[in-house]
Amino acid sequence: MKRILTYLSIILSLSLFSIFNIIRGKAFNVVKIYTPTSIAVDFNHNGIAENNENVCIADIEAFSLDISDEFYNKYAKSLNLTRKDMMALGYLATDYTQKALENKRVKVKYTKKFNSDCKFAKIIVDNADYSKLLLNSGFGIKDNKIGNIVKYKKNLDIAKKLNLVIFNHHSHKYHTLDCEFGKQAHDYVILPKRQLPPEAKPCQYCHLNFNTKNKIKKHTYFNTNEKLNIKQPVLTITDGDISLFHTDFTKQLKPDSKCNSNVCKIFVKHIEKSQKSIDIAIYGYEDNPAITKALKDAKSRGIRIRFVYDEAINPNNTFYKGNNIISKIADISKSDRYCDGAKLMHNKFIIFDNHTVFTGSMNFSPAGLSGYDVNDVVIINSDDISRLYTEEFEQMLSGKFHNAKQRHNINNKFQIGESVVEVYFSPQDKQVARIVQIINSAKKNIYAPTYLITHKDIANALISAHNKGIDVKIILDANSATTQNSKHKLLRDSNVKIKFENYAGKLHSKALIVDESYVILGSMNFSNSGENKNDENTVIIQNYKLASSYKNFFNYLWSVIPYLKFNPSAESKASIGSCTDGVDNNFNGKIDAEEDACK
């Protein structure tokens, strides 16, 4: 028995040693930056920062936004620094670390040191030792000495000019770094004062002299030298037979199933007005009582209802769980369950009476239908466009999904009143070439409120437009900052202006507005999968009135989302409402108080 246990012990040791060496020799993505010396490495390739994936950088210290008393007492006197100075250096150091490591592939060489928070390791990035890079940047400290004193002095000079403040999203007040009320707020973030949103107000305790507060002049705040316009946007715009709808996630901080949003109400109204048929092709459904009732009533009136949806090979893994509700109502339904499991039926379109097409980026879920997410929806009244969508629908209804579908022989470009409308379907139409062509034609501006950008051709076209002097602005969803193959760093390094949204809901639209002329929208994310794998639809509308309205909506979002360089986590105190909405915003299995960044 003792010999057997000995053999088992040896085998276990060899196995662990083998696993250790495999990890040492393999590169993994960095999915989260906590501090310049503490990161999360995606060892299990799920794109989520988990507790057992925390790595601390061995044998080095660095300035950070969270200055411990131990660090302060150790270096305040010898370096002649205040706590404010250290935090400002930490702000710059964090920015340096994000550029050096975020979404990069790194090799991890563990040391024998560990604590309750993480294991210590040497990190290799781009064939360089990150510790040496951090030391040479002037932000790192080793053996109680600054790694590069010349760069440190330059960094300190910049840091002293940052004028950092603590901003509380809920109260819209900002505090000095040493304000006793600053970090008492549930929802705060540290940022330069110039990046404050225009509605921000100074804390009276730390910013205002109470004896002279009535004499203080009003300040106009600027974000990256741009005057901000926070005029409330128009959420519905109609031109002839085309109507465009938006949802504003700055007003709806929790999802619900009440059908109070404009997009939900108009959808129910179209169900109630239907006279012959309703063809539904959507990624999935979660019960909305008003919609479910309207569909049941339509069925009782004799309306033909057909349903196409996405389904995993194992139905328990299907993202939306309410598909059976519509399946039971529908005359016929079909899913892509037995097709390629790596591809999605990701459409969100409905055809009413072979005449009206309802499509866009909105999922039929509480998050989409309530306005908790930012989405766009377009409704087009056209027999010709409905005929094209019906052909696509019937291919899927017959069991042809993804790459099994055929291209349509009929025209995909239509004149609808004052608008020219183009319709494309993935994966057969390869619409990115047309999107790039429109980007290349821009003369003045390109604005993109879009969930993510991972498609290299779109990213390169946006960079080229920026280099030609076109005003390019992009707003991405917070989750996109950690998306594999995200091009946001490439775009930022090329000086394209990018903001990550900082609200509880997702920025879920997939849109481009070009020169107040073109609006590009639909279900397709700007990704390789969106173009070449999934079932998607993309609508390109050339119309000045609609494009101008969407541009105004984009400018509104740009004005209320403050951060041009900071990447707020999707579920954290930096994202408004995300810690109290009851939603797993970053898909890591933790909700609200369970999330470390919400504590």
Mean pLDDT of the chain: 88
Average pLDDT over residues 500-514: 96
Query: Domain spans of the chain?
Result: 2-160, 164-228, 236-560
* 195 neighbors 558 (Cβ within 8 angstroms): no
- pLDDT band (50, 70, 90) for residue 573: confident
First to last CA, the chain: 49
At 231 the pLDDT is 59
Q: Which two tokens stand for residue 540?
A: 């390109």
> What is the second-level CATH architecture of the domain 236-560?
2-Layer Sandwich (3.30)
At 25 the pLDDT is 55
Q: Give the CA distances from residue 286 to residues 51, 268, 326, 407, in Å, rounded to whole numbers and listed in that order.
A: 31, 15, 10, 31
At 285 the pLDDT is 98
Please state, in angstroms and rounded to a whole number, the distance separating the CA atoms of residues 132 and 134. Answer: 5
2-160 is a CATH 3.40.50.970 domain: no
Judge if the upstream peptide bond of residue 202 is cis by omega within 30 degrees of 0: no
Beta-carbon contacts of 223 under 8 Å, excluding residues fewer than 6 positions away, are: 194, 195, 196, 197, 198, 559, 562, 564
Over residues 47-73, the pLDDT tens digits come to 677 767 889 998 899 999 888 889 999
Higher model confidence: residue 42 or residue 211?
A: 42
At 21 the pLDDT is 44
C-beta atoms surrounding 42 within 10 Å: 21
Please state, in angstroms and rounded to a whole number, the distance separating the CA atoms of residues 561 and 220. Answer: 17
- pLDDT band (50, 70, 90) for residue 203: confident
Over residues 89-109, the pLDDT tens digits come to 999 998 899 888 877 889 999
Over residues 356-371, the pLDDT tens digits come to 999 999 999 999 999 9
User: What proportion of the chain, given as a percentage, has pLDDT over 90?
Assistant: 65
Over residues 243-273, the pLDDT tens digits come to 999 999 988 889 999 999 999 999 999 999 9
Higher model confidence: residue 507 or residue 595?
A: 507
- pLDDT band (50, 70, 90) for residue 219: very low
- pLDDT band (50, 70, 90) for residue 588: confident
Handedness of CA 267, 268, 270, 275 (dihedral sign): positive
Q: Give the CA distances from residue 375 to residues 508, 517, 523, 531, in Å, rounded to whole numbers and listed in that order.
A: 5, 20, 10, 19
Over residues 136-156, the pLDDT tens digits come to 999 999 999 999 999 999 999
- What is the Cβ-side half-sphere exposure of residue 131, based on CA atoms within 13 angstroms? 17
Q: Which residues of 324-359 are buried (b: 16+ CB within 10 A; e: fewer)?
A: ebbbebbeebbbbbebeeebbbbbbbbbbbebbbbb
C-beta atoms surrounding 53 within 10 Å: 21
Please state, in angstroms and rounded to a whole number, the distance separating the CA atoms of residues 554 and 379. Answer: 20
At 466 the pLDDT is 98
pLDDT at position 483 over 50: yes
At 17 the pLDDT is 45
Q: Give the CA distances from residue 448 to residues 237, 374, 466, in Å, rounded to whole numbers and listed in that order.
A: 19, 13, 13
At 184 the pLDDT is 63
Handedness of CA 410, 355, 537, 338 (dihedral sign): negative
Report the range of poorest mean pLDDT among 127-131, 181-185, 218-222.
Answer: 218-222
User: What proportion of the chain, given as a percentage, has pLDDT over 70?
Assistant: 89
pLDDT at position 215 over 50: no
Please state, in angstroms and rounded to a whole number, the distance separating the CA atoms of residues 159 and 146. Answer: 16
Proportion of the chain in helix, strand, coil states, percent, rounded to 5: 35, 25, 40
Phi, psi of 273 (to 5 degrees): -85, -10
pLDDT at position 9 over 70: no
**Comparing C-alpha atoms, which of 477, 434, 493 is closest to residue 458?**
434
Beta-carbon contacts of 4 under 8 Å, excluding residues fewer than 6 positions away, are: none
pLDDT at position 241 over 90: yes
Look at strands 471-476 and 445-450 and give their pairing.
parallel
C-beta atoms surrounding 144 within 10 Å: 9
At 208 the pLDDT is 61
Q: Which residues of 273-312 are buried (b: 16+ CB within 10 A; e: fewer)?
A: ebeebbbbbbbbbbebebbbebbeebbeeebebbbbbbbe
At 185 the pLDDT is 58
* 97 neighbors 63 (Cβ within 8 angstroms): no
- pLDDT band (50, 70, 90) for residue 229: very low
